Amino acid sequence: MFKNITRTVFIISLVSLFNDFSSEMLYPIMPLYLAQIGYGGLFIGLLEGLAELIAGFTKIYTGSLSDTIQRRLPFVNIGYSLSVISRPLIVWTQFAATICLGRSLDKIGKGIRTSARDALLADECSVANRAEIFGFHRSMDTIGAILGPLAALLYLHFHPEDYKNIFFIAVIPGLIAVCLSFFLKEKNNKKNLLNNKAQFAIRQHFSFYKIAPVPYLIFLGFVFVFALVNSSDMFLLLRAKESGMSESEVLMLYIYFNLVFSLMAFPIGKIADRMNKHHILSFGFVLYALAYFIMAISPTGISLYIAFTLYGLFYAFTQGILKVLLIEKVPVNYKSNAVGFYEGLNSILLLVGNAFAGFIWYQWGATTMLTYTALITAILAVAIFIYYRKYDIKPNETV
């Protein structure tokens, strides 16, 4: 079952597990902490959007730079280190500027490492097992996303509403992730960074769209529409909290969502390698629309768990497969560019999406925001299915 999981894939997945252990201790309690100190839905939307905007430029630049110099590990090591440093900053003071700085630094760290890490994974793949490899990584990553909230829940059981100290405790698994990242090795030939200073010129790393294949650009058009209507998971957690759930129940709901994601990502990845991945992706968007619609009309009791089941399946059907589709549409030497350019622009568009979602929530309420998102996503899912039923793009065999 795991014969395609190499040493490098396993270590990368373990690093992601411990990093998510750290970050996901904080993510579900972030809206609870912000509400505790006086911030609401509008601030959450702006905070997440601003952090994504800053990270977006980082992802584009470092993704291109990684391909240019054919190095992955420095970006992976630095990226995980920055994220660990950032987490205590969020609770250093209650000022909005400090909170934004901490959240932005965390996203910058993610931006630096993401493209290079995915390129490392892609180097371990063949045409026949891409979705399987990325699915395994997402499953391991999500195990950390289960352990983190469980640890936070255990702490809050003994220290109710003491959110602040969790941000400091979360540093420990983050440091383990950083240490493990130094055991990674990369296959690519290493160039001397000092011999070509032009490699670091900023402008050249933001023009991948000029040389990107047309199928890649068309696919970006579809997923960027989703970015404009997508919103942070924090809105769903805030909706659950406002529906009457206690902090412990909100955390358990988030743990349940990640459990669904973790259990399903790997088997769905194996299935996707034998099917039209575009149709798998479109089905994932249908699940997303259903989850948001349920959260809009009936955010209580069993309906919440049905919605978060669908939401976990959405992640399992889309997260790894989307990265695979991006990589399949470009030549072998542009893998990091393909992911970095997508991640970067996606982050920038998420600024608009999160800010707009926060505005709708503030102006017309949660039901309107969630219904609007569900409707547009459902239309997008149908469009992707129809387009790729007619134009079934074959993967690039040289990747």
CATH number at residue 179: 1.20.1250.20
Between the CA of residue 11 and those of 19, 77, 120, 181, 323, what are the distances in Å? 12, 13, 11, 7, 19
What are 92-121's pLDDT values in tens digits? 877 877 888 888 888 888 888 887 888 888
Q: What is the distance, to the nearest Å, from the Cα of residue 378 to the centroid of all Cα atoms in its chain?
A: 21
Phi-psi region of 35 (alpha: psi -120 to 50; beta: other; left: phi over 0): alpha
| Mean pLDDT, residues 27-56 taken together | 76
| DSSP class of 190 | P
For residue 362, what are its two tokens? 């503030």
pLDDT classification of 200: cutoffs 50, 70, 90? very low
DSSP secondary structure of 191-209: P-GGG-GGGG-TGGGG-GG
Q: How many residues does the chain have?
A: 399
CA dist., res. 48 & res. 31, Å (int): 11
Higher pLDDT, 235 or 179: 179
What are 332-358's pLDDT values in tens digits? 778 777 877 887 788 778 778 888 888
What is the pLDDT at residue 393? Answer: 57
CA dist., res. 53 & res. 348, Å (int): 4
Say if 79 falls within a structural domain. yes
For residue 287, what are its two tokens? 């699940």
Percent pLDDT > 90 in the chain is: 27
Higher pLDDT, 126 or 156: 156
Lowest model confidence (mean pLDDT) among 34-48, 192-206, 303-317: 192-206
In the predicted model, what is the mean pLDDT of the chain? 83
Phi-psi region of 70 (alpha: psi -120 to 50; beta: other; left: phi over 0): left
Signed CA dihedral, 86, 72, 66, 345: sign only = negative
Q: Which domain holds residue 386?
A: 12-185+205-390
Say if 162 falls within a structural domain. yes
Say if 234 falls within a structural domain. yes
Say if 5 falls within a structural domain. no
What is the pLDDT at residue 391? Answer: 67
Distance, first Cα to last Cα, the chain: 23
| Mean pLDDT, residues 181-192 taken together | 70
What is the pLDDT at residue 192? Answer: 44
Count how many domains the chain has: 1
| Mean pLDDT, residues 276-302 taken together | 92
| Mean pLDDT, residues 5-21 taken together | 91
What is the pLDDT at residue 398? Answer: 43
Say if 4 falls within a structural domain. no
Quick check: 202 pLDDT over 90? no
CA dist., res. 353 & res. 351, Å (int): 5
What is the pLDDT at residue 330? Answer: 85
What is the pLDDT at residue 17? Answer: 94
CA dist., res. 305 & res. 385, Å (int): 27
| Mean pLDDT, residues 226-237 taken together | 86
Q: What is the distance, to the nearest Å, from the Cα of residue 389 to the centroid of all Cα atoms in its chain?
A: 27
CA dist., res. 311 & res. 305, Å (int): 10
Say if 160 falls within a structural domain. yes
| Mean pLDDT, residues 285-306 taken together | 93
What is the pLDDT at residue 194? Answer: 41
Query: Are 49 and 361 a contacting pair, CB within 8 Å?
Result: no
What are 165-176's pLDDT values in tens digits? 998 999 999 999
Query: Are 62 and 112 a contacting pair, CB within 8 Å?
Result: yes
Measured N-to-C along each axis, helices 335-364 and 366-390 cross at an angle, to the nearest 10 degrees, of 150
Quick check: 198 pLDDT over 50? no
What are 205-217's pLDDT values in tens digits? 466 778 888 899 9
Between the CA of residue 385 and those of 169, 293, 346, 378, what are the distances in Å? 44, 20, 21, 11
Say if 150 falls within a structural domain. yes
What is the pLDDT at residue 283? Answer: 95
Largest Cα span, the chain: 62
Q: Which of 301, 299, 315 is nearest to 257 (CA)?
A: 315
Phi-psi region of 161 (alpha: psi -120 to 50; beta: other; left: phi over 0): left
Say if 198 falls within a structural domain. no
